[in-house]
Copies of this chain bind each other. A is one copy, B any other.
Amino acid sequence: MDSGELLQRIREKKSFLCIGLDTDLHKIPAHLLEEEDPVFAFNRRIIDATHRYAVAYKPNTAFYEMNGADGWRSLERTVAYIRELDPSIFIIADAKRGDIGNTSRMYARAFFERMDVDALTVAPYMGSDSVGPFLGYPGKWVILLALTSNPGADDFQFFSDGRRHLYEQVLVMAGAWGTEDNMMFVTGATRAEKLADVRRIIPGHFLLVPGVGAQGGSLEEVARYGMNDRCGLLVNSSRGILYAGDGPDFAEAAAGKAGELQAQMEELLRERGLI
């Protein structure tokens, strides 16, 4: 999928919502624990109920790995289920991988060949040859960490050479490694005003914006500072949607929450003349 196709899907669904599948066995409704694969059972119902509101899903690998090989199977089944149900969905493995070239090639095989997701989140610390192997797959994307939404973002991402912060250096350098059709950047919603600085460096790239909802970011602020003339945003919500309810109607509660976000996004897309 290239950026034009992604924009097309955003227009069709009137949404730039990404739903984070951070599925935690300790938080899902108790009645699902009797299922053979409770994580997949939960995800399936969430996906059924919410996919009309979302352009992307983002399973977070940590939540699957905590269940070992069975968890990895739940992840594979989830990705396959989304593909089958709604082939227009953009699937992101939120894995924060990155290693020497020889090893990144193996991660690329794992996620782009075997699991066949559309995009993988990657950490920039090890530099170009740790990112390059993911860029050789037509239609697949790297989503590189730039400015994250957590408190620890201050520790190194604002390290400065006097001209630029580290996160800006990442945008400048890595912006040239890929194109607007195979690279996005993670920029957290908890610092929405910083998105203006990000946009000065990479006006055209898509941004994946976590931190709306449980982490406190505001969707309106994100759109104000981060939206461009091709939308250029995927805004993620995880816990706020997944755990909106904890009874037998959890999926309907999740759909309610996702629908609210979609309605706000539709409004923002209209204001910008994108739909």
Contacts and interface: CB of A to CB of B under 8 A. Distances in A.
Interface string A1-41: 00000000000000000000010100000000000000000
Interface residues of A, number: 61
B65 A106 contact: yes
A109 B156 contact: no
Contacts of A72: 65, 68-69, 71-72
A145 B159 contact: no
Contact of A123 (B68, B98, B160): B98
Contact of A154 (B101, B106, B127): B127
Given A72-B68, A107-B62, A130 B114 contact: no
A114 B68 contact: yes
B161 A148 contact: no
A106 B66 CA distance: 6
Nearest to A173: B155
A101 B150 contact: yes
A166 B215 CA distance: 27
Contact of A22 (B103, B124, B148, B149): B103
Interface in A82-133: 94, 96-104, 106-107, 109-111, 114-115, 123-131
A154 B215 CA distance: 33
A9 to B, nearest CB: 27
A61 to B, nearest CB: 9
A76 interface: yes
In the A-B complex, the 10 residue pairs with the closest CB atoms: A127-B152, A127-B155, A62-B106, A65-B110, A69-B73, A100-B150, A69-B72, A129-B152, A66-B110, A72-B72
